[in-house]
Structure 1
Amino acid sequence: MLMLLGLMVTVPRPALAAANGFTDPYGRELTFRGFNVSGSTKLHESSLLPFRTTADAATSATIMREQTGANAIRFLISWEGVQPTATTIDTAYLSRAAAQIKQFTDRGIHVLLDYHQDLYASYLFNTGSWYTGDGAPKWVIDKGSYPAESCGICVLWGQNMLTNNAVRKAAYDFWHNNYGVQDAYLAQASSALTYLGNALPKSMLLGVDPFNEPFDGGLDGASGTTWEQNFLLPFYQKFRTVMDGAGWSALPLYAEPLVFWNTTFGEAGGLSTIPALGGRYVFNSHYYDGARITVDPTAAGDGTYSAAMNRIRDRATGLGTTGFVSEFGNAMSSSRTPWMIRAMYQGLDSRLSGATFWNNAATSGAVLSATQWHWDVYSGRHSELMNGNPNKVQTSGDAWNGEDHSVIAAGALRLDRRVLDRLYPSAVAGHTLAFGYEDLARDGFAGAGTQRAWLTVPARLTTIASLVAARQYGVLVWRDTGITAPTEIHLPGSFLPARTTVVSDLGAVSGIPASGAITATTETGASTAQRLLLTAPGSASGTIHVALIVNTADTTSIPAATLTSARTELLSWASSSF
């Protein structure tokens, strides 16, 4: 729903990839934020889908939309679920998937469809193994002749990709199309995408991630970049053809590089030597802090992940498209996780640390869209027979290879809501020049621990510094491109419209009014979640707009003189910075 000249209108917003980001039919730049739904797709107890029932999907979608402001999910499906036998496409599985997806699209949440695999298949592992996989069906594994699986001395399950000969040989066969397995994969994808494309609203779909975390299985003496050129890119091009033939030609393919790119260790790949992909593809990266997962004992803080996220931005630009971070996060078992995730979101918001933002905002860069790993409503309540072994029933965490990443358990958010329910520019009527957000999230779980501001205002901006002190706030700067639709910014639940202060070139208000250039309304598909609308009718193309949004719930109102002074400072800062 959009407020245009006082009228509420419904507008579908398909997201198109381009060098300058995702856009809607108005030409507004879009930002997507949300979660992966979910690791339960790896489990047979969940019938290889994120939810056991459509009702569970509906409940989850409602909680996610209302409590986190998410406007996107990465929805996992499984090759094994789609094609349980060589001659069967399970339309009942696809029907259940579509019903679950609709619970999200009906609530204004866009969907990236993800064909998920890890370690290629669970059927490569013996019943007593420490590890398991997911993805390919048993009939595919039966085609090959694979050695007894063994990871050797492994600290993390991902090491199977490097040392487990069964896993590596199966992946090698896929990329070389031995036994025709890649052809079979593309054929079932054509059937699945045709079915889902007919069952789902295309305006709410973001595209397809055709293969989660691709790993080579063997380089034949070549480099990772050469392998990407010779095997990964041709696969993506074939899958792109499948998408086009199945009716998905208007939506991009989300192309992931080699799995270990940008994770501290094993940096080969990154699609860094292939030609520009263009807007029919998205550069789709994951990010996990390999160092802190293994050997680095330090805590995350202001600017910790700027370099890693900027690498993703720069690689996307080099490929002539936009970037998307479809997985990031950390285990809930680590005491450092709350601020690690906070710092990752900060890196998604801006190229800059909080300490440098106000003095260097012109280099803030693009806001990255992302989906966090992950959202599992069954966290800690599983009953999964690991590799079919009734003596190894997995109940805790994610019930998969010892992981525990879900941000929700028993219907409640596990992290400080201020980390997850964030101010972000969901639709910008022009070109985003800078965005920064101070969430004031604490370093413990569920809101416990220490609070510390990272986005610090220079002392020279006296009134602004005073206004935002010990308060959540965000600042957005954008260049008008003649779009008449409003700029939309998600308001976290802590930003009550009646107690939110907005200072902008469009005006300055203490408490957001019901109408005018600065107003608020509910998010599409939500009952309580709110968004801020900033409208600049008649503004000349090229005009620089700026908005400072402050959570002033601790006071009934901000004095008019303070608003006037803050606006003067803000406009002076914007004019001198951009």
Structure 2
Amino acid sequence: MVRARWIFVLMLLGFAVTVPQPAFAAASGFTDPYGRELTFRGFNVSGSTKLHESGLLPFRSTADAAASATAMREQTGANAIRFLISWEGVQPAATTIDTAYLSRAAAQIRQFTDRGIHVLLDYHQDLYSSYVFNTGSWYTGDGAPKWVIAKGSYPTESCGICVLWGQNMLTNNAVRKPAYDFWHNTYGVQDAYLAQAMSALTYLGTALPRDMLLGVDPFNEPFDGGLDGASGTTWEQTYLLPFYQRFRAVMDTAGWSALPLYAEPLVFWNTTFGEAGGLSTIPALGGRYVFNSHYYDGARITVDPTAAGDGTYSSAMNRIRDRAVTLGTTGFVSEFGNAMSNSRTPWMVRAMYQGLDSRLSGANFWNNAAGSGPVLSATQWQWDVYSGRHSELMNGNPSKVQTTGDAWNGEDHSVIASGALRLDRRVLDRLYPSAVAGHTLAFAYEDLARDGFAGAGTQKAWLTVPSRLTTIAALVAARQYGVLVWRDTGITAPTELHLPGSFAPARTTVVSDLGTRTGLPSTGTIAAGPETGATTAQRLLLTASGATSGTVHVALIINTSDTTTVPAATLTAARTELLTWASGITW
């Protein structure tokens, strides 16, 4: 029904339409049937998949999934989720594929696709399995079912002095040995994994709308379990890449050949403390794969006491962009974020989004916009509607009932709890170019988010306009705003940007080579309309009808809710200034 409404709206606006097909990955990015460049933004749903109390799914009911999808779409403008499923959930016994589990998963997924939210399916594991831990352990895991662990003879679980749960991957042999067996296909365990994936993908492929699926992440955060004296890059070549190739063949046979495989490097790559793989020595993957990285600030999680600020994560996000280019494919950041218990988290997350938007810091953008680079698609960790309201028996121990935070290894990352956003909405509900009719040359956004939780704290602008652009600087001062530059490629469908909830269409100003407007109508060259599947969430539509292919377009989008009007003379002067700025750059 959502797809039909979307097609009908485009027809009313005069666009030729075709039935949408899946978004493809290529070196130039995700595209839709019109050839528009797509950006996906959203959240992981959710860490509840790690919990037996939730039936190893993100939601306890389809109704909870529906309410969550609605809230996410309306409050953040998300157009994508990474939906977690569990090997244990799919295959609880060696000879059993639990189609009831898959049916529940499909019903939950459809609540998101029905609301215009695309889905990346994620086979999730952390520390390989909960069944390698004892009932009194400090930690737990998720992923492999009990019957898999029973195949091996593994040491008693002990992490030693582990401050963080992730250290289990490095020092806990009860975790490392079964992972080692997986990659070496001991006991045929990898064969069994691929066989159940074939069954699951075949089932889900018939139960889900293909045009709303992004692909499959076949193994969350792969860790080696033992390098046999080799390097991380050698391990990736010898074990990880062949696994991905085998899973790629499973996807093709199960009917998912049109969708990419999201290939993650070794888990500790790009974590501040050193290179550990990164798929840096394997052949180019090409467009049937996506380079799928996570990013967490290992230093600020552990030893770095400083706050994040303008440009803090430019380097980390640019490494992901550059690695994707080297691999001949698209980059995607399927996890990023930080604990809600950390007072520095609001601006850490803000700075991560800034790094996803552009290669440049805010201080450098206006003077060096040609180096802005592609916008990265991403899903933040995480969106758990049960945050702080869990009742999970850790490792099945009734004396260790986990209720707080994520109820898993002491984490507390959910951006929502009890129906309310925990971070400043301005961090999460962002202007971003969801579909660009051409090639994106530059994008940046000033969210004016505060450094405290739920909108408290200090406000500071990072995207600063040079003083030589007098009118633009005055127009955007103390206001949220974004700027998009793109090269026309002859596409007739509009360029679309998600409008944050703070950008009421009637009080939004657009300055562009396409014209100027304060107050956005529902039709025309510069217009606004509802996001697909949403009631209140809005999108900006910019239509460059009749433009010559190769033309460089530019749009400045400003939240002018603090004023009833912007003088026409100001708009004219700002347009002249903006076009002069754009024409003076070699794109």
Give TM-score scaled by structure 1 length: 0.99
- Correspondence list, 1:6-25, <5 A: 6-7=13-14, 12=20, 14-25=22-33
The offset of 1:10, in angstroms, is 8.3
1:330 aligns with 2:345: no
Q: Comparing 411-420 with 10-19, which one deviates more in the overlay? A: 10-19
Alpha-carbon distance in 2 for matches of 1:120, 1:299:
33
Tell me the equivalent position of 1:30: 38
* Aligned residue in 2 for 1:133: 141
Letter in 1 for 2:225: G
Residue in 2 that maps onto 1:304: 312
> Partners of 2:569 and 2:523 in 1: how far apart?
22
Deviation at 1:266, TM superposition (A): 4.0
SS state of the match for residue 490, structure 1?
strand
Partner of residue 164, structure 2 = 156
Q: Which amino acid aligns with 1:419?
A: V
Is 1:4–1:486's contact at 8 Å kept on the other side of the alignment?
no
From 549, 560, 567, the counterpart of 2:575: 567
Contact 1:442 1:448 in 2 (8 A): yes
Greater Cα offset, 184-193 or 509-518: 509-518
2:302 matches 1:320: no
Q: After superposition, what is the alpha-carbon deviation per residue over 1:40-61, rounded to whole angstroms, capped at 9, x for unaligned? A: 0000000000000000000000
Tell me by how many angstroms 1:514 deviates.
2.4
Superposition pairs for residues 489-500 of structure 1, below 5 Å? 489-500=497-508
- Aligned residue in 1 for 2:284: 276
| Distance in 2 separating the partners of 1:221 and 1:256 | 22
How many residue pairs match? The answer is 578
1:221 corresponds to? 229
Equivalent-residue separation in structure 2 for 1:36 and 1:61 (angstroms) = 12
Counterpart amino acid of 2:477? A
Distance in 2 between residues matched to 1:497 and 1:544, nearest whole Å: 25
Runs of 4+ deviating beyond 3 Å = 2-5, 7-11
Q: Does 1:361 align with 2:369?
A: yes
Q: Aligned residue for 1:291?
A: 299
Q: Distance in 2 between matches of 1:515 and 1:501?
A: 15
CA contact (8 A) 1:4 1:485 kept: no
User: How far is 1:14 from its partner?
Assistant: 2.0
| Secondary structure of the structure 2 residue equivalent to 1:284 | strand
- Alpha carbons of 1:10 and 1:38: their partners in 2 closer, same or farther (altered >3 Å)? farther
Deviation at 1:5, TM superposition (A): 6.6
**Structure 2 residue identity aligned to 1:212:** N
1:410 and 2:436 matched = no
Aligned counterpart for 1:527 among listed residues 527, 535, 542: 535
- Contact 1:415-1:445 within 8 A present in 2 as well: yes
Asked if structure 2 preserves the Cα contact closer than 8 Å seen for 1:3 and 1:486, the reply is no
Shift of 1:13: 5.1
Which residue in 2 is equivalent to 1:460? Answer: 468
- Conserved 8 A contact 2:357-2:444: yes
Check whether the contact 2:18–2:33 (CA below 8 A) recurs between aligned residues.
Answer: no
Report the alpha carbon displacement of residue 4 of structure 1 after superposing the two structures with TM: 5.4
Query: Contact 1:186–1:242 (CA<8 Å) still a contact in 2?
Result: yes
CA distance in 1, matches of 2:528, 2:194: 45
How much does 1:239 deviate? 0.1
Alignment check: 8 A CA contact 2:296 2:338 kept: yes
Between the aligned partners of 1:225 and 1:164, the Cα distance in structure 2 is 22
2:189 is the counterpart of 1:208: no
Matching residue of 1:81: 89
The correspondence for 2:270, drawn from 240, 262, 265, is 262
CA distance in 2, matches of 1:464, 1:420: 25
The equivalent of 1:443 in structure 2 is 451
Match of 1:103 in 2: 111
* Code of the aligned partner of 2:40: F
Spell out, residue by residue over 1:75-128, the C-alpha distance to the aligned partner (whole angstroms, 9 max, x if none).
Answer: 000000000000000000000000000000000000000000000000000000
- Pick one of 498, 518, 540 that aligns with 2:526: 518
Match of 1:488 in 2: 496
- Structure 2 CA distance for aligned equivalents of residues 557 and 349 of structure 1: 29
How much is the aligned-residue C-alpha RMSD, in angstroms?
0.9
Question: Using the alignment, how far apart are the partners of 1:313 and 1:347 within structure 2?
Answer: 10
> Which residue is 2:385 aligned to?
377
Contact 2:30 2:37 in 1 (8 A): yes
Structure 1 unaligned blocks of 5 or more = none
> Given that residues 21 and 210 in structure 2 are in contact (C-alpha distance below 8 angstroms), is that contact kept between their aligned partners in structure 1?
no
What residue in structure 1 maps to residue 199 of structure 2?
A: 191
The equivalent of 1:92 in structure 2 is 100
Identity rate of aligned residues, in percent? 87
Deviation at 1:74, TM superposition (A): 0.0
SS in 2 for 1:148: coil
Q: Structure 1 pair 311/529, CA: closer, same or farther in 2 (3 Å)?
A: same
- Structure 2 residue identity aligned to 1:166: A
Among 178, 184, 190, the alignment partner of 1:176 is 184
Partner of 2:3: none
Contact 1:303 1:353 in 2 (8 A): yes
Q: Distance in 1 between matches of 2:176 and 2:313?
A: 31
Pick from 61, 70, 73 the counterpart of residue 65 of structure 1: 73
Residue 578 of structure 2 aligns to a residue in which SS?
helix
- Deviations, residues 254-278 of structure 1 (Å, cap 9, x unaligned): 0000000000124210000000000
